């Protein structure tokens, strides 16, 4: 199965739509991602002994909170083939996790448990901090841990002090807290609570409530992306808010998602929304809070949480364990308005190859396409395609033969694509 995922990974993000931006109240629903034949859009995965509900990624490892299964650790040195390397029974329901430095902080019921992860193969339980409420989310703001608890509000733990951690602050919110996010300078935090988005100052002697962004609506997730705060409600509402003044965010756009958002990752021009209906929705994002629908990912389990690392997305996929998808789409947000049409050479599958392979490419608009094969000296040795093609994800096969009909010898060859005024080159390795 993992080998199959490897081959499908390059197809994952092939869908590129030259669509205009959604309106402020458009309902975002999506077509389904997949390869030319509807293949599952995953690059790899690993089943775990118990279902995964949250994850945090650091230094080539994924740390997964797995309910009553405790903490599991997967090595991601080969991201498309995660390897289980460690685990720890935490004697309770592990619901959330954040890794920082040598520590993993895991929310287990109303206790924040500190785990030494110096050795991923042998994690050690070092400290337990009772926070007085069921922990829903733990995130890091530099060396400051922010823990959102359903009845205790926000708890802060300074992880820069000498262990054991003892510098703990708390502020009680007006309603149960579900998730937290922080400003880049760590001076302000925003909490998604049953009463709205509550704003907390972190730069004083103790955390202090200083305002509310949304009132009278149950909010579930908050995420900061640069100078925008994204806040998701339990009814599918998704707000984009300007953070020019972090203590007084200003709503600039709202979207209605087809299902409530359980978790989200918004960065580098892409939004990945884990939704309560079991679908993972993907959209392009601009700096004005516009979402451009792109597609959905289908995972084998029940996705609960998402994290990004490098060109990949990692999902805590419930009974599906940890699943990995590619996080690369050839989209350019044009002046904060829409998507600039482009051509993309998605990859060569399989690569290395023997005897042949498939070149996968995507067009945002119809274009003349020429795909050629070249040797290490740049000489054209085969013409694979030279015709007008419509928009969408497409492919062309190479049978391992040169223009004269002879078999290409082992070595490195280069595929060159010209389309839509763009030239792209990709290397491939032939093994005889």
CATH number for the domain spanning 409: value is 2.60.40.4070
pLDDT for res 239 = 95
Query: The domain spanning residue 9 has which CATH number?
Result: 2.130.10.10
**Which of 298, 321, 338 marks a domain boundary?**
338
Asked if 362 and 344 count as a contact pair (C-beta separation under 8 A), the reply is: yes
* Domain identity same for 328 and 347: no
Residue 352: domain span: 341-430
pLDDT for res 166 = 65
**Which of 315, 338, 361 marks a domain boundary?**
338
How do strand 250-257 and strand 27-28 relate by DSSP bridges?
A: parallel
pLDDT lower than 70: segments of the chain: 1-41, 162-163, 166-167, 268, 294, 327-342
* Domain identity same for 307 and 345: no
Please choose, from the candidates 302, 300, 266, 262, the residue with its C-alpha nearest in 3D space to the C-alpha of residue 282.
266
* Domain identity same for 127 and 256: yes
pLDDT for res 345 = 76
pLDDT for res 336 = 32
Asked if 104 and 115 count as a contact pair (C-beta separation under 8 A), the reply is: yes
* Domain identity same for 402 and 330: no
pLDDT for res 335 = 30
- Classified as helix, coil or strand, 3 is helix
pLDDT for res 162 = 66
Widest Cα–Cα separation across the chain? 77
Q: Which residues, listed in sequence order, are joined to residue 43 by a DSSP beta bridge? A: none
Q: Which residues, listed in sequence order, are joined to residue 77 by a DSSP beta bridge? A: none
Q: How many domains does the chain have?
A: 2
* Domain identity same for 332 and 416: no
**Which of 275, 307, 338 marks a domain boundary?**
338
Tokens linked to 306: 């998402």
What CA–CA distance (Å, rounded) separates 425 from 347? 10
pLDDT for res 10 = 27
pLDDT for res 284 = 75
Tokens linked to 95: 């619901």
* Domain identity same for 238 and 322: yes
- Classified as helix, coil or strand, 92 is coil
DSSP strands (E only) in 54-176? 54-58, 61-65, 71-75, 83-88, 94-100, 103-108, 111-116, 124-130, 135-141, 144-149, 153-158, 168-171
Whole-model pTM: value is 0.71
* Domain identity same for 280 and 345: no
pLDDT for res 17 = 25
What CA–CA distance (Å, rounded) separates 51 from 69? 8
* Domain identity same for 184 and 236: yes
Place of tokens 């060859």: 413
* Domain identity same for 231 and 362: no
* Domain identity same for 75 and 24: yes
* Domain identity same for 168 and 219: yes
């Amino acid at each position: 199965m993992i080998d199959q995922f490897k081959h499908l990974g390059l197809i994952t993000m092939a869908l590129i739509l030259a669509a205009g931006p959604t309106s402020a109240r458009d309902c975002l629903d999506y077509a389904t991602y997949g390869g030319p034949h509807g293949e599952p859009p995953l690059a790899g995965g690993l089943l775990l002994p118990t279902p995964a509900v949250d994850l945090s990624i650091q230094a080539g490892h994924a740390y997964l909170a797995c309910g009553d299964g405790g903490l599991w650790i997967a090595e991601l040195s080969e991201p498309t083939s995660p390897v289980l390397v460690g685990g720890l029974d935490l004697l309770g329901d592990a619901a959330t996790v954040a890794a920082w430095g040598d520590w993993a902080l895991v929310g287990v019921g109303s206790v924040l448990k500190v785990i030494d992860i110096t050795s991923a193969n042998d994690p050690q339980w070092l400290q337990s901090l009772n926070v007085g409420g069921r922990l829903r989310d733990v995130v890091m703001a530099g060396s400051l841990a922010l823990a959102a608890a359903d009845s205790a509000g926000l708890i802060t733990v300074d992880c820069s002090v000498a262990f054991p951690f003892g510098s703990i602050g708390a502020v009680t919110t007006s309603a149960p807290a579900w998730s937290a996010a922080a400003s880049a300078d760590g001076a302000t935090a925003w909490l998604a609570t049953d009463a709205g988005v509550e704003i907390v100052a972190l730069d004083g002697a103790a955390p202090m409530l200083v305002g509310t962004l949304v009132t009278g609506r149950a909010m579930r997730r908050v995420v900061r992306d640069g100078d925008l705060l994204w806040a998701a409600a339990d009814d599918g509402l998704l707000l984009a808010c300007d953070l020019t003044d972090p203590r007084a965010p200003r709503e600039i756009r709202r979207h209605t998602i087809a299902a409530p958002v359980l978790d989200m990752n918004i960065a580098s021009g892409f939004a990945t929304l884990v939704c309560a209906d079991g679908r993972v929705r993907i959209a392009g994002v601009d700096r004005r809070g516009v979402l451009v629908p792109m597609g959905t990912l289908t995972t084998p389990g029940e996705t609960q949480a998402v994290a990004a690392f490098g060109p990949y997305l990692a999902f805590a996929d419930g009974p599906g364990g940890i699943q990995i998808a590619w996080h690369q789409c050839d989209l350019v947000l044009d002046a904060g308005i829409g998507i600039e049409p482009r051509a993309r050479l998605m990859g060569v599958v399989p690569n290395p190859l023997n005897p042949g392979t498939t070149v996968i490419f995507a067009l945002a608009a119809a274009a003349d396409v020429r795909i050629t094969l070249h040797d290490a000296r740049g000489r054209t040795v085969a013409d694979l395609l030279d015709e007008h093609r419509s928009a969408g994800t497409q492919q062309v096969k190479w049978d391992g033969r040169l223009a004269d009909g002879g078999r290409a010898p082992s070595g490195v060859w280069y595929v060159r694509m010209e389309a839509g005024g763009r030239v792209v080159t990709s290397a491939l390795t032939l093994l005889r």
